[in-house]
Amino acid sequence: MTSTTQSAYTSEQVAVWLRGLLTIAWSDGHFDEEEQDLITSVLHQDLTEDERSQVLEPISPQDLAQILGKDPDLAENFLRTAVMVALADGVYSTCEDELLEQFCQALGVQTEVLQVLRTTLQDLAKAQTTEAINTGVASSLQPPALGDHHLDVLHPVRDWLDGMEVHDPKLARFLCKLIPPQCPFERDIKLFGHKIVHIPPMCKLNPLYEQLVGLRFRALSYLADDCGEDISEYC
């Protein structure tokens, strides 16, 4: 369904925005064929054939900055969604982190929040590895415990990500498709009746899962309330 709601961004800005998000999403090679088909289907309903072919091409930080770097608020909102895309599958890879850093530098956006995210997730990964070695069981990556004696070091990252608003229907549909509608179930992977690995639920694996859910909800609300679209296909 094509919305007639006026976007806050130009068609060129949205196309480059989506192109940047796909560059992040596919940078670690973890997007399988089904996921690629999902994203392509979203793009198909909003873009012309020429626009789709351009969006599916990786974009360099320099080309991204030429279109999105002229407006600081636009650049920061793009980076918020780029971080969300990097975290959507529960894996924050080195190549995603490096590309995000390059995007930040090209757009002239400060990277303190990115550094906090990087350091915290590295510490969580080390803690998980240590526990797995000591117990022989892989645990989930959880955010630091909150309380009088525990500092939630990801708090500035959460605040920054929660500041993202959605003002474009194409971007909203993309986010609704990319972010899972519900937390994938906790499950065991077995081979010949023996448990090989335990996969925790995404909401425990990803310490910023609530921010992903919040962004998806805002995208859904925008499509339903502002654009008057039927959002049943995303639920």
pLDDT in tens, 74-97: 999 999 989 888 877 666 778 888
pTM: 0.74
Average pLDDT, integer, range 45-62: 78
Q: How far is CA 219 from CA 98, 166, 207, 209, in A?
A: 27, 6, 21, 15
Instruction: Quote the distance between the C-alpha of residue 31 and its chain's center.
Output: 13
For residue 190, the surrounding DSSP H or E stretch is strand 187-191
**Amino acid sitting at position 115:** Q
Question: DSSP 3-state assignment of 140?
Answer: coil
Nearest to 208 by CA among 166, 149, 151, 155: 155
Question: Residue 197 pairs with which residues in a beta bridge?
Answer: 189
Q: Residue 7: its pLDDT value, please?
A: 78
Mean pLDDT: which of 116-125, 130-139, 191-200 is highest?
Answer: 116-125
Q: For residue 75, give both structure tokens.
A: 């650049």
**What confidence score (pLDDT) does residue 25 get?**
81
When pLDDT is averaged across residues 28-52 and rounded to a whole number, the result is: 65
